[in-house]
Amino acid sequence: MTLPHEGESAKRPLKGGWRETGGRRSSTFTRLLRHGFTDPSAAERLLDAPDLDTVRDDPLLLDALGATADPDLALLGLVRLVEGQEDEPGRRELLDTLVTAKPLRDRLLGVLGASEALADHLARHPRDWRALVTYEAVDLHPGVEEFERGLAEATDPVSLRVAYRRCLLAIAARDVCGTTDVAEAAAELADLATATLRAALAMAGAAAPGDAAQCRLAVIAMGKCGGHELNYVSDVDVIFVGEAVEGADEGKALRAATRLASHMMRICSETNVEGTIWPVDANLRPEGRNGPLVRTLSSHLAYYQRWAKTWEFQALLKARPVAGDLALGEEYVATLAPLVWHAAERENFVADVQRMRRRVIENIPAGEVDRELKLGPGGLRDVEFAVQMLQLVHGRSDTSIRSGSTLEALAALGAGGYVGRVDAAQLDDAYRFLRSLEHRIQLYKLRRTHLVPEDDADLRRIGRSLGMRTEPITELNRAWKRHTSVVRRLNEKLFYRPLLDAVAQLAPGETRLSPEAARERLVALGYADPSAALRHLEALASGVSRKAAIQRTLLPVLLGWFADSADPDAGLLGFRKVSDALGKTPWYLRLLRDEGAAAENLARVLSAGRLAPDLLLRAPEAVALLGDPRGLEPRGRDPLEQEILAAVRRAEGAEQAVTVTRGVRRRELFRTAAGDLIGSYGTEESPAEADPGALVDRVGDAISDLTAATLAGTLRAVVRDGWGDTLPTRFAVIGMGRFGGHELGYGSDADVLFVHEPREGADEQEAAKAAAKVVAEMRRLLQIPSADPPLLIDADLRPEGRSGPLVRTLKSYEAYYRRWSLVWESQALLRAEPVAGDEELGRAFTALVDPLRYPAEGLGEDAIREVRRLKARMEAERMPRGADPTLHAKLGRGGLSDVEWTVQLMQLEHAWAEPGLRTTRTREALAAACAAELIPTEDAAILDEAWVLATRVRNAVMLVRGRAGDTFPADGRELAAVARYLGYDPGHVGEMLDDYRRITRRARAVVEERFYGA
């Protein structure tokens, strides 16, 4: 057949295409547009071919072309197919069949309009269209045997490829015409793969009959092929099991089996003149690509018993014998099944599966994540992972849910009550749509891809192939986003919703989890006390109240967030307590329901340790902070002090005023702790912060500012209660240690010095008594037992230590420091900073001590030796008995003390000449020393990293345990919680401890050189 050229007809240009001067061509052009052709001019020229007069003049054929996914592509493919027929009778047979046989017409044109690759195959093998006649009966769905007959004539890899494509053509024809649904099409593709593997293995055996005679070789299909749900284009995952035949040497038999398996893989995977069938991937075998290709059954069993990871048992869910010695394959599956169905009992089972899923998402290129149909959030893998997790948890006792097919397993999970019926139906619908979309994307060029295309022509073709004809691109995008959203939402709650159904009041006849199944699921999720967890769920979710209804909506997602923590039991218990306290408050549940961040923030805070929940439960209304986008940002010193002083003015007495002040402190401690936890753990809306140093600085500043504001308010309350507006002496509080350095942690005391100066005309003894009384009353009021945490004031750094007076005049300090000051006191004064009281007096104090802490010309050799001697003595005497010096955050090797003494020695030696060193903050002083070239940049970075890490460890211990500590907890759960705070995934506690030892060991090496001069 010869196609007409542009110049063969008298044409003139018109808007939208070309037409002949006469009216017939104009009518054809309009009809083509109406039937969905996007290039009617080209279609007209194709239809002008002499052999296509039947098509051009038959409205049924034109309607059939218009019903395809891409009429232009279908017509071009048909022209190529007609051209390719060997003779005129062949062309007549094809065209007559198209006119008279509607099923054949719809299938052939449907394939040509959906798959350019299969049109290419038909152009190369024009007689293969007759394969569609074989499957003309609508109700005929071929199985492995039919496909084996279709491949029977193949004698080499090239003819096997041609026969495979011929069978694939029939599958695609039924698929695009709707004769089979997506699950049936996927099953047929898996059956065709099975037949192909058998044919390839037979070819390998025929090529090496001696090898085939020595061994038994079983091919186990894995992945989608094993699950009877294969794609059009996909790797076929397999595992090989080999045994020696009776009387044969096992080593020789395994080598023979390996040669057969390798040859079979090459036949399927290598590219020939007809292309490639598909890669055969054996990397799911024990030890992956590093392990032997073929193992005996006993070798497989030994590996899975000792070395296999959780994901490997997950993969075995889909194991199915497909080729070779099927009896050996069945024995393999039966032998390993008991191990598969006990995988959920492994430690960190759910965490391992979830971590693997997160790793998959993280490895998607950033530019593709929104188009990734399989691996992206809300994609096919989300459904498969969720279903497989539920199978592994509940399949131990319920054999009905052990199917390798995702859709069959999902249906069984719904029937068994493991997934809500509505949820199961919605998930089934979404999965079918996503798989159909995946099939249509791959079918076009028969390429392995899971990316939704961006080109409008591709989207139009795919949308039309899925039945979207009005606005195919808009409808396709809308449906895709809707189903992806459904998967994301259901994947979050799929594992948890049935737990509520197990304890809630259900309508008669509804299926739900048995109590034992509910406990199994909770154990798999990491709950240590499933019975208590079920009681909490029953208390929260049962009943018909609005409160119970909202909590039934919230709890599935909350349970997932709790399970993602180190202590899910604590999270659930804390949520019950908060809900009991606030459940009748209208804004509380509305906040959690409507503000997405609030619920996740609350879950993270409640399950991360004891401190933040304890602070919250003492005043549950602070949960409102979690819903405000800026609610977790620490407030500065000025607004805090203004709020506290205003409350003091309103209070009737000092005790009431300090009670209010401590309430503000409790709320702000919760704000800081919650912000720290969420910044460290991260949430979906707020990922974990990358800079640990910034987190440490923020916490140190926030707690130090809060402590200063608390002391300022307490001082004002005490003075007003005892002396009215004016105390007979000026009074100032000087921050020392971590307080003065803006480095307070959650468990830190407030190290201070008190200084006063009698007012002009005041009696000095009365002034001293008043100052002492102020100090005593401040300490008493801040430590009165109450619901609020106490603030302990430590004045042991004062002159003469505990034996000296708590408060001195400025002159007394001057006299003491002039006559008696020791080098350690000069070192301590490096952190001195006024924090409350009379600002002018505070500045006078720092001016007094500046010559001591920044001595002119630096320290002498004797003073340097004294500092080193004191440090060595402290290391020897103050380390707690039995403590591991490599893990003690304060006094241990490379810990806080090591770094701080090294920095402070540089300050004592050089601050007189380097203004940047005149700071109370450790990290600022270290940076200034580096800028002044007093320490190499690399050494400064090592010390800074160790100091930040040790500070975070101390904060983590307080957050997790609710009490201060300098060493890692011994309890496993608490240690895991510390690891999560420090950014380690579940199951990586050992890695955390190794990293801590490594970082602090490097810091100690710097200290040895820079501090001790070693």
**Residue 45 vs residue 384, higher pLDDT:** 384
Query: Which token pair is 476?
Result: 């396709």
Q: What is the pLDDT of residues 939-953, one digit of tens each?
A: 999 999 999 999 999
| Arithmetic mean of pLDDT, 358-376 | 83
Q: Which residues pair with 241 in a beta bridge?
A: 218, 295
**Rounded alpha-carbon distances, angstroms, from residue 451 to 440, 472, 620:** 11, 18, 47
Among the residue ranges 122-126, 159-163, 421-425, the one predicted with the least confidence is 421-425
| Arithmetic mean of pLDDT, 861-886 | 91
**Mutual orientation of helices 157-176 and 116-124 as an angle, nearest 10°?**
130
Query: Which token pair is 410?
Result: 């999902």
| Strand-pair category, 294-295 with 11-14 | unpaired
Query: Which token pair is 224?
Result: 């989608």
Does the pLDDT value for residue 909 go beyond 90? yes
User: What is the Cα–Cα distance from 1004 to 1001, expressed in whole angstroms?
Assistant: 5
Angle (CA) 707 709 713, round 5°: 115
User: What is the Cα–Cα distance from 19 to 17, expressed in whole angstroms?
Assistant: 7
| Arithmetic mean of pLDDT, 727-750 | 95
Q: What is the pLDDT of residues 667-684, one digit of tens each?
A: 999 999 999 998 888 765
Q: What is the pLDDT of residues 213-247, one digit of tens each?
A: 999 999 999 999 999 999 999 999 999 999 999 98
Q: What is the pLDDT of residues 792-809, one digit of tens each?
A: 999 999 999 889 999 999
Task: pLDDT band for 422, please (50, 70, 90 cuts).
Answer: confident
Q: How confident is the model at residue 507, as a pLDDT?
A: 45
Q: Which residues pair with 14 in a beta bridge?
A: 17
**Are 441 and 452 in contact, with CB atoms under 8 Å apart?**
yes
| Arithmetic mean of pLDDT, 732-752 | 95
Alpha-carbon dihedral 517, 521, 522, 528, rounded to 10 degrees: 90
Closest CA to 534 of 347, 413, 542, 579: 542
Length of the chain: 1014
Q: How confident is the model at residue 933, as a pLDDT?
A: 95
Does the pLDDT value for residue 89 go beyond 90? no
User: What is the Cα–Cα distance from 609 to 623, expressed in whole angstroms?
Assistant: 16
Q: How confident is the model at residue 496, as a pLDDT?
A: 66
DSSP of 877-909: HSSPTT--TTTBTTTSTTSHHHHHHHHHHHHHH
**Residue 505 vs residue 478, higher pLDDT:** 478
Task: pLDDT band for 587, please (50, 70, 90 cuts).
Answer: confident
Q: How confident is the model at residue 20, as a pLDDT?
A: 42
Does the pLDDT value for residue 349 go beyond 80? no
Does the pLDDT value for residue 729 go beyond 80? yes
* DSSP H helical ranges for 682-749: 692-723, 737-740
Task: pLDDT band for 775, please (50, 70, 90 cuts).
Answer: very high
Q: How confident is the model at residue 519, as a pLDDT?
A: 85
Query: Which token pair is 965?
Result: 């500590």
Three-class SS of residue 731?
strand
Please report the sign of the dihedral spanned by the C-alpha atoms of residue 530, residue 534, residue 536, residue 540: positive
Q: How confident is the model at residue 56, as a pLDDT?
A: 67
CA atoms within 13 A on the CB side of 897: 21
Q: How confident is the model at residue 131, as a pLDDT?
A: 86
**Are 453 and 459 in contact, with CB atoms under 8 Å apart?**
yes
Q: pLDDT exceeding 70 applies to what percent of the chain? A: 92
User: What is the Cα–Cα distance from 625 to 675, expressed in whole angstroms?
Assistant: 10
Query: Which token pair is 129?
Result: 């269209």
Q: How confident is the model at residue 483, as a pLDDT?
A: 93
Q: Which residues pair with 808 in a beta bridge?
A: 755
Q: pLDDT exceeding 90 applies to what percent of the chain? A: 64
Three-class SS of residue 323?
strand
Does the pLDDT value for residue 492 go beyond 90? no
Does the pLDDT value for residue 137 go beyond 50? no
User: What is the Cα–Cα distance from 60 to 342, expressed in whole angstroms?
Assistant: 59
**Rounded alpha-carbon distances, angstroms, from residue 202 to 193, 243, 264:** 14, 18, 8
Q: How confident is the model at residue 1, as a pLDDT?
A: 36
**Residue 787 vs residue 5, higher pLDDT:** 787
State the Rg of the chain over Cα: 38
| Number of neighbouring beta carbons within 10 Å of residue 491 | 22
pTM, to two decimals: 0.69
Q: How confident is the model at residue 517, as a pLDDT?
A: 82
Closest CA to 588 of 599, 603, 601: 599
Q: Compute φ and ψ for 543, nearest 5 degrees.
A: 105, 175
Please report the sign of the dihedral spanned by the C-alpha atoms of residue 804, residue 810, residue 816, residue 822: positive
User: What is the Cα–Cα distance from 120 to 129, expressed in whole angstroms?
Assistant: 12
- Terminal C-alpha separation, the chain: 93
Does the pLDDT value for residue 139 go beyond 80? no
Q: How confident is the model at residue 508, as a pLDDT?
A: 45
**Residue 511 vs residue 786, higher pLDDT:** 786
| Strand-pair category, 17-20 with 215-221 | unpaired
Give the H/E segment covering residue 840: helix 839-853
Task: pLDDT band for 528, please (50, 70, 90 cuts).
Answer: confident
| Arithmetic mean of pLDDT, 809-821 | 94
193 Cβ neighbours under 8 A, 6+ residues apart: 221, 225, 230, 236, 278, 322
Alpha-carbon dihedral 437, 438, 442, 444, rounded to 10 degrees: 0
| Number of neighbouring beta carbons within 10 Å of residue 518 | 24
Closest CA to 595 of 572, 624, 575: 624
742 Cβ neighbours under 8 A, 6+ residues apart: 700, 701, 704, 705, 920, 921
Closest CA to 774 of 718, 708, 725, 705: 718
Q: How confident is the model at residue 923, as a pLDDT?
A: 97
| Arithmetic mean of pLDDT, 980-987 | 86
Q: How confident is the model at residue 524, as a pLDDT?
A: 78
| Arithmetic mean of pLDDT, 305-331 | 95
